[in-house]
Structure 1
Amino acid sequence: MALLKWQIIFLTFLLYHLNDEVASEPIKRIVNGSNAVAKQFPYQTFLYTFKNYEWYATCGGVIISSRAVLTAAHCIADNAVAFIIFIGAVNLTDSLEPGQQRVIVKRSYVVVHPEWDEFQLINDIALIKLPVEVHFNEYVQPAKLPNPKHLYENEMGVVSGWGNTESSNTGSAILKYYVVGVLPLDECATQLKELTRTPSIVPQSYICLKPSDSSPCNGDSGGPLAIKNPDGHSTLLGLASFVIGPCETNRPSVYTRVSSYLSWIKNHTEISG
């Protein structure tokens, strides 16, 4: 009963603030993406964070089981109190959208990787344990975890998230996506070195995207890089971590390689195998 009362209070707070323009820190967005449609990315989630007595649009995330969502560690603020996880959504402002679910999660349900380093930008991964099971249907499905023996280099993946078509603090309410190739790590290191003018050592826990006319920007952080399988399901390869420069296109983007963290994920979830 106490949990239900707590959820009602926060849901009331959310409904009051959700349609207000969210000021504060920039939100990662997808530049030059196409609009998604219902059921296209059933594993996609979005996080609103409650901190400092306000709700903030924060990051993307990915459903990997009925009780677990992955996102980036840098999406989890130290002073966060709670989160609203949007599931099965395309239009974040449409609370009556078919298939859309919203789950309230306390900060205590979130596990940030213990070796997350915000200065070196490594181990940028966090797991959100859901207090209730997500109802799977045609709008909501988990992404499969990747094969740890497969690098997926030069394969084509899909990046998705909520955003506008330019670098700004105001994002579209509609889910966007673009198709992009996976950049081999040695090429990623070379390009990052040229862009930053410093030696770049790219860890195996990174997965880089080839430069293209589209880009994740100012943070669709925590959002997925996935590939479509022949059976119609999708496999999660990476979580958006960082880009070089302010929402620049034609530069490599860096994601957290999910296959590097399979043991950690399975230790904190009911997922086996």
Structure 2
Amino acid sequence: MRKVEVTPRDPRKTRVARVVGGFETAAGAFPWTAAIRMSETHAHHCGASILDPTHLITAAHCLEEDQRPSSYEVVVGEWDNNRTDGREQILPVQQIHFYPLYKDLFAHDIAIVEVPKPGFKYNDYVQPICLPSPDFTYNPGRRCVVSGWGSTGLQYSQTLQAALIPIIDRNECVNSSQLYQSMSRSAFCAGYLEGGVDSCQGDSGGPFACRRHDGAFVLAGVISWGDGCAQKKQPGIYTMVAPYLAWIQNVIHSF
């Protein structure tokens, strides 16, 4: 990811998330990061995070236009999109669970994707991410990692990219641009108001992972939307995971 000025090509996609200005990861560095692809073309579509061998969490808007599970496949253990190195595991999507109150990406932009049992096999390159505690606090200034294969300005990234970005004070974010006043209470802002580092198109649904005091990472947020990428006063918007824990547990443990 380089620092780039991004002019979204499709105005409809301007607000769709939206890693620019970050760094290339080492293979296996963020083993919970998954990719959702179109099953017919195998083209990269969105990001996701592994919760357990058969469930992944993503952004609801990624799956809104085409809600047929058969349209998608999930890839875990991936690093280089253009190369098969034998670490990848690809499974079809069996079911999509939208958060019941989801209507559009401005609120409750969260969904769970289910793959057939027995699901993915865990190894050094495929690992679940911990869920946050119910009292997780989204403190301004806390720096966490976003990762994905989304746009670096001109095209989707070939290798998994990541960036360390801070949570932004809610009022500061809302006041930075009129559009951000539509941010829901269960979403938060992260990035840099001066621009330069951000998530971008194709990163939607991917993880916003924060390191706990014991060294483990927890999934604090899901990449949701933004107005452009890495532009001044236009940071990324993320769906909080903590408010949805009861729903997530319910979906994962229902038979």
Q: TM-score range by the shorter chain?
A: 0.7 to 0.9
1:263, 1:205 → 2: CA distance? 14
Q: CA deviation at 1:79?
A: 5.0
Distance 1:75 1:199, change over 3 A: closer
TM-superposition CA deviations, 1:234-261 (whole Å, max 9, x none): 10011111012x2243432100101111
SS in structure 1 of the partner of residue 46 of structure 2: strand
SS in structure 2 of the partner of residue 269 of structure 1: helix
**Which residue is 2:249 aligned to?**
266
Q: Does 1:100 align with 2:88?
A: yes
Gaps of 5+ in 1: 1-23
Alignment match of 1:58 (pick from 31, 45, 52): 45
SS in structure 1 of the partner of residue 130 of structure 2: coil
Gaps of 5+ in 2: 1-9
**Which residue is 1:247 aligned to?**
229
Q: For 1:118-133, what aligned pairs fall within 5 Å after superposition? A: 118=104, 121-132=106-117, 133=119
Distance 1:254 1:199, change over 3 A: closer
Taking structure 2 as the reference length, the TM-score comes to 0.83
Q: CA deviation at 1:117?
A: 1.7
Distance 1:96 1:145, change over 3 A: same
Q: CA deviation at 1:59?
A: 0.1
TM-superposition CA deviations, 1:11-58 (whole Å, max 9, x none): xxxxxxxxxxxxx997856212211111210000000124xx655421
2:157, 2:182 → 1: CA distance? 35
Taking structure 1 as the reference length, the TM-score comes to 0.78
Matched-pair contact (CA < 8 Å) for 2:33–2:48: yes
1:225, 1:115 → 2: CA distance? 22
Structure 1 residues 151-160 or 174-183, which shifts more?
151-160
1:39, 1:96 → 2: CA distance? 12
2:50, 2:126 → 1: CA distance? 9
**Which residue is 2:196 aligned to?**
213
TM-superposition CA deviations, 1:204-260 (whole Å, max 9, x none): 31021031421112241001100123544310011111012x224343210010111
1:199, 1:100 → 2: CA distance? 37
Q: For 1:1-273, what aligned pairs fall within 5 Å after superposition? A: 28=17, 30-50=19-39, 54-76=41-63, 77-80=65-68, 81-97=70-86, 99-106=87-94, 109-118=95-104, 121-132=106-117, 133-153=119-139, 154-166=141-153, 168=154, 170-191=155-176, 195-196=177-178, 200=181, 202-211=183-192, 212-244=195-227, 246-250=228-232, 251-270=234-253
Matched-pair contact (CA < 8 Å) for 2:191–2:198: no
1:158, 1:60 → 2: CA distance? 14
Letter matched to residue 241 of structure 1 = S
2:32, 2:230 → 1: CA distance? 26
Matched-pair contact (CA < 8 Å) for 2:229–2:235: no
1:42, 1:36 → 2: CA distance? 11
Matched-pair contact (CA < 8 Å) for 1:44–1:223: yes
Percent identity of paired positions between Structure 1 and Structure 2: 29
2:136, 2:218 → 1: CA distance? 12
